[in-house]
Chains A and B, each alone.
Chain A
Amino acid sequence: MKRLISILAVGILLNSSCTKIQDPLYDSVNENDFPENLTQLAIVPSPAYKQMQYFLDGGGWWFAQELTSDEMVCPTRHTDWADGGKWAVLHTHEWTNTTEAVSSMWGNFIDGTRFANKIIERLQELPQTESSIISISKMKILRSYYYYLLIDNYGDVPYVTKFKDAVAEPEKEPRATIFNNITQEIAKELQVIPIAQISKYSVTRAMAYSLLAKLYLNSEVYTGTPQWEKAGKYCDTLMTLGYALEPNALGPFITMNENSTENIWTIPFDEDKFKGFNLHMRTLHYNSNLTFDMPVGPWNGFAVTESHYNSYPLGDKRKGYFLVGQQYDIGGKPINDVAAGNLPLIFNPYIPKLIMDASNTPEEIRMSGARVVKFEIKKGAKADLSNDFPIFRYADILLMKAEAEIRQGRSGDEWVNMIRERAGLNDLSGVTLTQLLEERGREMFWEAHRRQDQIRFGTFNEEGWYKPASDPSRKIFPIPQWAVDVNPNLAK
């Protein structure tokens, strides 16, 4: 016995496994062991794309583009949607560098750029193949897309294109410099992508042309120098690629819109596997689930501004975007709102004020404002929709082309009228910029274009509904406080 113990004691001290720490990996791998095969290689770029999953919700982008504009509003419905004022300040243009949408959008875009940088360097480390060379070009274009979003929303931002050797606290670059960098990079890299590669989700030539058209269309805002001709040129190129308007004005927005001939680049939402499209929850009334046989009750928030609702002329098929009047359940029975004294649920486009309180009636609080069903809500829809959300859409390209022409003193009637005809409206001749902005408003409504359009057309800072005229500095958002805390150079 004694001998046994002695042996044990000495053995312990001499055995190296008893003196050396072991840290094997079983259920995961070291960074350098990934990707281990082609299947894994294929998903290496996915983190950079994945930031788009948050665009319509926690990422803040949709809120910042729509709720600051003249077409959408999130009124405070007494206790609901007060939320510390984070919605109301978007409408009144009183946001600060801690307002939620302003804060979260920054992180979402910056993450997109650094994930792209990381992926580019990782792909460069791995043995080069034909497809990895294409992937690298796509990542560079995707990175440029995030920089486009950054300069569009924040103006001057740091421009970082390295990963491992990236500066810890980069300084801001002028908006115009970044504009030049990314337009050049996109034009160069798109050459690498084979024309035959067609996708609504991955970066394609069509996506790159659309992005360039968008950048040049807004060149005056970003750089002070307009470049309408280039914008028009890239629209022309796109028009040769075989995209076409859907016959139905609501066609691009159906639940199964994967095969739409009109959508160029989309976020591939799925109710189960790629969640993030829950705008219907934010706009529909608590009891609207009865209309669509939804298993969840929506949240009764966002509504169309009355002025925008009234901007659709009689006969405009796009009025189908909205829910107004008495609401019915799926069996056709009128819905009553128990909490509003069991009154019939009738959506009224009139919204009494931005911040409704106990002095408003329950009907006003709960039922005011037209609601939006531009994207189809299928029977039994869940808390997240499966409709893909278009970032670039052919109808937009047509309107951009028209704008580029009008801006250069030529007629844009041809393209504007294509859109109007589909909407069931008569043709216009000699379309003015004001008319074009109105048409863009009606056609591109709810697709997160309105802030940018209003800035380009100079109406963004005008007085609006429960909104005094705002300072021109409001055309960009402040870099959020948290980001400045982390990188003090951003305050410079």
Chain B
Amino acid sequence: MRKEFFIGKIILLLIISAYCNITFGQELNVTGTITEKANNQPIPGVTILIKGTTKGVTTDIYGKYTIKAENNDILVFSFIGFLPVEETVNGRSIIDVAMAEESTQIDELIVIGYGTQKKSDKTGAVAQVTAEELNKGALQDPIQSLSGKTAGVLITKRGGDPNGGFSVKIRSQASLFAGTEPLYVIDGVPGVDPTSISSDDIESFNVLKDASSSAIYGATGANGVIIITTKKGKKGKIGESVEFSSSLSVDNVAKKLDLLNASQIRKYVNDNGLSSSFVDGGASTDWQDELYRIGKTQNNNISLSGGDENNNFRVSLANSKFEGVIKGSSKDRTTGRINFSHKMFDNKFTVSATASGTVEKNYFVKYDGNGRQDVIWQALQRNPTDSVYNSNGDYKEVLRDFGYVNPLGVISDIQNEKSQKKLLGNISTDWEIFKGFKHWLSLSYTRDDEESYYFEPSGGYSNPVGLGSRSFYNTERKYLETTLSYNKDLFTNQNLSIIGGYSYQFDTNTGIKAYGEGPTSNLIKSYNLATLNLVKSGDISSRYNTVNKISYFGRVIYNIDSKYIITATLRRDGSSKFGANNRWGNFPSASIAWNIKKEVFMNQFEFLDQLKLRVGYGVAGNDKIPSNAYRPIIGPTGTTFDFESGQYIPQYTATYNANPNLQWEENKELNFGLDFGLFKNKLSGSFEFYRRKTTDLLVDIPARLSSQAYPRIWINGGDFSSSGFEANIQYFAISTKKLDWKTQFSFSTFKQKIDRIDHDFTGQNNKQGWLQGRGLVGDENWTQYIKEGWELGTFYMPEYAGISSTGKYLFYTAAGGVTSILQNAERRVVGHALPKFEVGWTNSFNIYKYFDLSFSFRAVYGGDVLNVTRLILSNPTQLPTLNALTEALDNAQKGLKSAPIINSLFLEDGSFIRLENLSLGYTFNKFKNNNYRVRFNITANNLFIITRYKGTDPEMTYTGLSFGIDNFNVYPKTRSIMFGVTLTL
């Protein structure tokens, strides 16, 4: 690598050295080695000048230099792409310098929509996280690497299901029924699925948190924007590089529930004189052990990159295999990506192309309820005296109770697979028409295919009738974006940057689904649905619909000496999701930054390197609702009975009533930010404070007016507000040759309030947090309430008042008394599912340049969890037929005789501190070729958690209208250890 470059440098070096030797031969000899700070590599060709003179030398290919200088001379070390370093000689004859790359320092570029900006010039709440700062270890999705890294971005996942996605919330949620996930922009293409890239391809994340930043994305930016930049071949660097990495991780269930074992059940039977009536299955089975296994994750990545002055490319291929800790659940994902760019016409014109593909296969198990196929519930309730197998080797079934099914039988019975393919092609051109005036054009095409296979055999354990289905859904998107931009320096210290653009998006959603019951072959499964005996009209269906969006946008940035920076944007969006009356919307924003440090009066504060105040206000929108939600469209929806003819015929109906006035939600946000850097930027950080108001909330409600003929209607039915504070601080605690220690801290908190809800929304809609479980069916079993003035996730339940002498739960009544009847109990606000604050703390160490060590803690404080799993399983009433927690024995002792009833006793504190990951790496680079490197690392995830929560794991996702409920539907969180090796050639 870099050979041609080296030869050039060596020649230069020889010439300069010779020249130096002749001219300045009579002074003190200073020697040393210049290395790259990041990897301890020697840097050839660094210029060393004595300050104030033209005397200088350059380093040789080993990064060594010798210069004659006087005692009080200042040496200036400089090299393209690196920050210059100054050192006073002070009698030293050896001066080694580790130079840092420019981009890792404070003036790195951040990516804002449709452009970049110097970090020090930013005006909005934009946070950047680069590849080396991201989480490592067994990552299930690339987005997981961002968890806990930047304040205000809450990335959560309930449990460890390899097929369960992540919930990503920027500054909590801004919406109720419309989507709450942020917009992803990958290499300039908005709306790309972030699972379609490998985590090894990621160069950086840039998060546009406030509306003044995200308003440039208009109607899609309300939930914030995450811009992902992928790795490219290094521009301007000549040569090739190959990187190969491989890792293997083993996962096991971090915490099992403390259920009774077979001998405890037998003791209970004897102690209670039930031995004559109890049917002992004769075995001793730990059903959690039977359901769970050691999970495995394997990752293999290879990338090749390279370039010369005009070209650069990067090709990567990555494969991940996840075997979940619940038997039968797994995922296999392969992603491939090619980035290429070429400069032509005197470097005035650049053409870039990207192609990427993802092939994914999922194997699912169901675990989200208490049905016959919900394997977690079946394992938890199953009697430990029952054996797994019959004597003939079949899964043993015993008719102990209603809906009592062997979970391993269910897993082996049901085929539940999905095959996904995601393709992206993008071509973009950059043309500098004249100095400062540029045209950019980007054309992209994405196609996502999703093919599902589902089969339940006839005569099977879970559903004796059996059924099969296949579906094939495709989404195709054509996207064109183009901008014209002009950048001009004005006067001596001012800069004007203008951009105007247009974008056009056309999506086509197609698909076909077939379903039927009564398979006549269990071997063929869903591979050929012709085996199905019972197929009704409507069991075969297909779809074809489109979404069209058109946008115009513009932005002006005026920068006065980097002291005052003003940004203003405007976007005008049109979307086919809304009716003719509100098809177009305008989304303006403005923000200003004042770099206080640049003021003359600040010169006295030398310790202060940066102090900047930012204020921004913007309006972003949310259109994440189904297409055709504003108009009634009539289509076939299955079979109905023709009451006249007595025949079954295809039914035609619409779902949504007309609402021609339906329009986007608007998210208006005011953001204050403060950026600071102290002690040569050793300590730096930023604080953000925001107030956000979402108006015209899009809500999907049952249609109740006499003039509405279809079941539901979308309305703009409320306002919602939140405010919050975020802090990101980083501190280079130690920065020596032997040891680097960097510590980063993030803190975020927010408050949320429903300001207004349309009265059409009330009624059944505001009762949320419905439970499932035996005896918990029906209208009274809701636990959360949506009400003006409250936040989402407010637990509104009967308050526990003890146990009556007859063993019933008692609850307080409105009159101040107690009752055992749920309907007569007073509902009270007994808790809040939303956490009070979240803290992330990451430390990274670099020891002797060979070892790197990092660990990250994440803490969530506040946030109650309703432990329904415990409500049901700590109740002794199903013993000894069904299993229960050991706690149930105490409750039996206490005389509890009541069936499970929702109450505040089972509301637990969900606060936790988790060691998210601990990673130790060793890099060996003493190869003959300086560029060869090998890195070994070992990473542990979720090593420990400190929490008072009694269930398997308190981490909740804060999605939808209700959350914070553990209803035996949590895939176990895992503890994993990963071994990895990375080779760079």
Count of A interface residues, CB-CB < 8 Å: 101
Contacting pair A29 B635 (CB below 8 A): yes
Contacting pair B274 A341 (CB below 8 A): yes
Contacting pair A23 B576 (CB below 8 A): yes
Q: B890 an interface residue at 8 Å Cβ cutoff?
A: no
Count of B interface residues, CB-CB < 8 Å: 102
Contacting pair A1 B349 (CB below 8 A): yes
Contacting pair A5 B441 (CB below 8 A): yes
Contacting pair A21 B780 (CB below 8 A): no
Q: A438 an interface residue at 8 Å Cβ cutoff?
A: no
Q: How far is the CB of B346 from chain A (nearest CB, A)?
A: 12
Contacting pair B640 A46 (CB below 8 A): yes
Cβ contacts under 8 Å, B575 to chain A: 21
Contacting pair A268 B646 (CB below 8 A): yes
- Cβ-defined partner of A202 (8 Å) among B634, B644, B648, B704: B644
Q: Kindly supply a per-residue 1/0 record for chain B positions 628-641, scoring 1 wherever the CB is within 8 Å of any chain A CB and 0 otherwise.
A: 10011111000111
Contacting pair A199 B635 (CB below 8 A): no
Stretch at the interface among B2-10, B24-32, B131-139, B538-546: B538-546
Cα distance A43–B649 in the bound complex, in angstroms: 8
In the complex with contacts A5-B439, A5-B441, A50-B640, A357-B897 CB distance below 8 A: yes
Q: A358 an interface residue at 8 Å Cβ cutoff?
A: yes
Stretch at the interface among A72-80, A211-219, A220-228, A443-451: A72-80
Cα distance A416–B876 in the bound complex, in angstroms: 52
Q: How far is the CB of B390 from chain A (nearest CB, A)?
A: 16
Contacting pair B780 A83 (CB below 8 A): yes
Contacting pair B632 A358 (CB below 8 A): no
Give the contacts of B435-479 with A (CB-CB under 8 A): 439, 441, 463-465
Cβ contacts under 8 Å, A2 to chain B: 345, 349, 431, 433
Q: How far is the CB of A323 from chain B (nearest CB, A)?
A: 17
- Cβ-defined partner of A341 (8 Å) among B279, B429, B628, B653: B279
- Cβ-defined partner of B544 (8 Å) among A26, A47, A85, A357: A26
- Cβ-defined partner of B763 (8 Å) among A13, A76, A162, A481: A481
Q: A125 an interface residue at 8 Å Cβ cutoff?
A: no
Q: Kindly supply a per-residue 1/0 record for chain B positions 642-654, scoring 1 wherever the CB is within 8 Å of any chain A CB and 0 otherwise.
A: 1111101101111
Cα distance A362–B276 in the bound complex, in angstroms: 13
Cβ contacts under 8 Å, A362 to chain B: 277
Q: A442 an interface residue at 8 Å Cβ cutoff?
A: no
In the complex with contacts A21-B576, A170-B706, A358-B807, A268-B632 CB distance below 8 A: no
Cα distance A342–B278 in the bound complex, in angstroms: 7
Stretch at the interface among B158-166, B288-296, B393-401: B393-401
Give the contacts of A472-490 with B (CB-CB under 8 A): 480-483, 485-488
Contacting pair A341 B278 (CB below 8 A): yes
Q: How far is the CB of A386 from chain B (nearest CB, A)?
A: 12
Give the contacts of B780-824 with A (CB-CB under 8 A): 780-781, 806-808, 821-823
Nearest residue in B to A481 (C-beta to C-beta)? B763
Cα distance A272–B640 in the bound complex, in angstroms: 11
Contacting pair A486 B759 (CB below 8 A): yes
Cα distance A375–B901 in the bound complex, in angstroms: 34
- Of the listed residues A78, A164, A287, A339, the one surrounded by the most CB atoms of chain B closer than 10 A to its CB is A339
Contacting pair A359 B806 (CB below 8 A): yes
Q: How far is the CB of B678 from chain A (nearest CB, A)?
A: 47
Q: B930 an interface residue at 8 Å Cβ cutoff?
A: no
Contacting pair B465 A163 (CB below 8 A): no
Q: How far is the CB of B168 from chain A (nearest CB, A)?
A: 29
Q: B762 an interface residue at 8 Å Cβ cutoff?
A: yes
In the complex with contacts A12-B482, A46-B643, A297-B403 CB distance below 8 A: yes
Contacting pair A202 B643 (CB below 8 A): yes
Contacting pair B775 A201 (CB below 8 A): no
Q: B600 an interface residue at 8 Å Cβ cutoff?
A: no
Q: A373 an interface residue at 8 Å Cβ cutoff?
A: no
Stretch at the interface among A93-101, A171-179, A236-244: A93-101
Cα distance A29–B648 in the bound complex, in angstroms: 21
* With A42-B645, A79-B775 already in contact, 14 other A-B pairs whose C-beta atoms are closer than 8 Å: A2-B433, A18-B502, A21-B550, A23-B627, A31-B633, A31-B658, A50-B640, A83-B775, A100-B780, A118-B709, A162-B706, A162-B707, A270-B648, A273-B639
Which residues of B are interface residues toward A (Cβ below 8 A)? 274, 276-279, 345, 349, 398-403, 429, 431, 433, 439, 441, 463-465, 480, 482, 484, 502, 504, 506, 517, 534, 536, 542-546, 548-550, 574-576, 583, 627-628, 631-635, 639-646, 648-649, 651-654, 658, 702, 704-709, 759-760, 762-764, 774-781, 806-808, 821-823, 875-878, 881, 896-902
Can you list 13 A-B pairs with a CB-CB distance of less than 8 A?
Answer: A9-B482, A22-B548, A30-B634, A34-B652, A40-B652, A43-B642, A49-B641, A76-B899, A84-B823, A273-B536, A339-B400, A358-B876, A382-B465
Which residues of A are interface residues toward B (Cβ below 8 A)? 1-2, 5, 8-9, 12-13, 18-31, 33-35, 39-40, 42-43, 45-47, 49-50, 76, 78-86, 89, 94, 96, 98-100, 103, 107, 110, 113-115, 117-118, 158, 160, 162-168, 170, 199, 201-202, 268, 270, 272-274, 286-287, 295-297, 299-300, 338-343, 357-359, 362, 382, 480-483, 485-488
